[in-house]
Structure 1
Amino acid sequence: MTKIAHMVTDIRPRANLSTSPALLKEPAVRAGFLAGMSIPRLADAFGVTRYVMKDYVAARREQWRAADKRGIREDARRTVVFTRASRESGGYDIRPISLPRITMHVRALDERAGRAA
């Protein structure tokens, strides 16, 4: 028989842990979640119970992941623009288009941003 003691979780919260998500800072929790931190580690880091962190992340995870694939990203070599690509079924995918970082493209993106604002 193998021991699975490492899989047993304590149902009772530890002392001094909050049972309210009111004090959680969303940008910090989002950054930790997107960096790959587990729910128990996030809960320990922010001083809340695991079930509070689980509910908090579950309500927001799809928005966080979708936001990661929106907008424009730039680095020294290229500019990546995320656009919608339609499917025959009526849905769409968000696909990255990578442009070399050329002055002409930078000016066009700045113009586009100026018109949108």
Structure 2
Amino acid sequence: MNHYRQKYTNCRFLIASDDKTFVKQHLGHFNDVVITPPNFFHGHDLAALALCEHSILTGGTYSWWAAWFAGGNVIHDLNYPVPFQKCVKEHYFPPWFMFPHNSSSKRNE
């Protein structure tokens, strides 16, 4: 998120998640973060994310499709996908930025 904060002025982050409680606990205190409403269905979340100018991918196909539809700059974890997963590195396009931070490990702490 800091990458986008430094690169763009007045950016806002729209976060869609199936665990909104976790997101609120860890990111809800930022003034530039907006979490999709609890009554949004998955399709609503995807449609809202597709309207964004840039994307940050998590480890899954849902955010991948949101980024694909949205276009713009995309950043994702350099350590994902991990070997032996159905998702392959070739599906993460060269213009998409990779950051060497495994954010998925933070959730298990």
TM-score over 0.5 for the alignment? no
More strand by share: 1
Bigger RCO (CA 8 Å, 6+ sep): 2
Larger Rg: 1
TM-score normalized with structure 1 length: 0.22
